[in-house]
Chains A and B, each alone.
Chain A
Amino acid sequence: MNYNRPELLDRLASEYVLGTLRGRARRRFEQLLRQLPAAQAAVRAWEERLGPLAVAVPPVAPPARVWAAIESRTAPAARRAPARAAWWKPLLGFALGSVLTIGLVQLMPGSFMSLDGLAQKEQALPQSYVGLLVDKEGQPTLLISSTRHGTRVTVKSLRPVAVPPGKVLQVWALPREGAPFPLGIATPTKPPGSTHFDMSGTSEKLLANVPRLAVSIEDGPAQPGATPGEFILTGHCVKLW
């Protein structure tokens, strides 16, 4: 079957979401979904079209044992041996003051939160913007964070990034609307080290409407209004408070 035909892809996506694509055809399509962004986009569009119809289904309260089972299956103890794809979750969890598995302690200096010099109450999370940037293979590579009202950005290296001599690693903010704008230059270091750069304003001012961050390799620091080169790392920018 030629999946490059958009109308065929759209038809398969529609029956996949409706639920009438069954058996081997469904499995083949699921496999395709993992590889083909166009298929993912088609499915998302159909989910948006049909999903709202589920609103009409009367809610039925599930018994308490369901939540109990979910809780026990997702409790920190159950995450001691996390799935490979999610190995960084406990790492971030630590950054946010929650539980960390022993093996990862060495990877994660405790200085992560205090670097901004903000005295935080124990257990309290500083209000922060955090972005986990992944490379093209989806490997978490840089963890970028800054406190809500701070201008200093912490760049934690999770994997080595090769920067050619004479080039710089430019961090970009990708706002919800409008063109990407440069945030600053990241200096990658040997993992798991951290470096910093300062932004022209506070995170709150610059990042409040920025759902994604990205990194490109440039000849020198980008000026506002410049067009970014190819993004080698991208990730969501999340508010934490």
Chain B
Amino acid sequence: MADSAPLQQDLARVALGDRAAFERVYHSTSAHLFGVALRILGRRDAAEDVLQEAFVSVWHHAGSYQAASSQPMTWLISIVRNKALDVVRSAAVRHETSMPESKDGEELELADERPGALALLMAGAEALAIRGCLEALDASHRQSLALAYYHGMSHSEVAAHLQAPLGSVKAWVRRGLERLKKCLETTGQANLTGR
């Protein structure tokens, strides 16, 4: 991640109602955050709405951002992801078996992109130097985490996608997360986002 100090400072200013700082935050982060929302939602219109909601929320809640305990980009990503997951959750179309490809409206070519989730996970890992930790996971664990994280898939959606029993997927996700945490802790890479 790029130097987070200017972003941190701008968020502090946003908390005090500084509109110029707010615009700077938007312009420096929106493309990235839009990409994240688009991956999860698979639809431009829905992703635009989520981005809008996220930034309105940033304007009102920048004061709750705690520079001491989290990176500014991580904080913003969490807001966008949570809003996107709310939408995914409430959209009946997406429920259980149906996939975002089957939705109306503008669509992404997710069928082609979906296998890319795993590649993204490893690319993200490269940036983090935690590649070793992810590689140490079983392939099924790694794949389940990638589908859930990048595409906002639920356990049942991952199960449908991988054509695996739901119970197995739940266990893969749980063990995958546990092992990732353990590995990050032992290699001391958990906090390597710039501090």
Query: Distance in Å from the Cβ of B88 to the closest Cβ of chain A?
Result: 8
Is A236 at the interface (CB under 8 A from chain B)? yes
Q: Which of A87-95, A112-120, A178-186, A215-223 contacts B (4 or more CB under 8 A)?
A: A87-95
Is B18 at the interface (CB under 8 A from chain A)? yes
Residues of B within 8 A of A60 (CB): 31, 34-35, 38
C-alpha spacing A61/B121, complex, angstroms: 21
B124–A52 touching, CB < 8 Å:
yes
Known: A59-B31, A74-B56. A48 touches B74 (CB 8 A): yes
B60–A49 touching, CB < 8 Å:
no
B148–A49 touching, CB < 8 Å:
no
Is B98 at the interface (CB under 8 A from chain A)? no
- When C-beta atoms are compared, the residue in chain A nearest to B38 turns out to be A60
Interface size class of A (residues with CB under 8 A): 35 or more
Interface size class of B (residues with CB under 8 A): 35 or more
Is B193 at the interface (CB under 8 A from chain A)? yes
Is B184 at the interface (CB under 8 A from chain A)? yes
C-alpha spacing A175/B55, complex, angstroms: 30
A57–B127 touching, CB < 8 Å:
no
- When C-beta atoms are compared, the residue in chain A nearest to B184 turns out to be A49
C-alpha spacing A60/B30, complex, angstroms: 8
Is A191 at the interface (CB under 8 A from chain B)? no
Is B187 at the interface (CB under 8 A from chain A)? no
- Residue from the set B31, B74, B127, B180 with the largest chain A CB neighbour count within 10 Å: B74
C-alpha spacing A51/B75, complex, angstroms: 8
Is A50 at the interface (CB under 8 A from chain B)? yes
Point out residues on A near B: beta carbons under 8 Å.
Answer: 10-11, 14-15, 17-20, 22-23, 26, 41, 44-45, 47-63, 65-67, 69-70, 73-74, 83, 86, 89-90, 92-93, 96, 98, 130, 176, 211-212, 236, 238-240
30 residue pairs from A and B, CB less than 8 Å apart: A17-B78, A19-B40, A19-B154, A20-B154, A20-B158, A20-B173, A47-B77, A47-B78, A48-B70, A48-B190, A50-B149, A52-B192, A52-B193, A53-B120, A53-B149, A54-B77, A54-B124, A56-B120, A57-B32, A61-B34, A62-B31, A63-B48, A66-B51, A70-B59, A74-B22, A74-B60, A83-B60, A96-B16, A212-B68, A236-B15
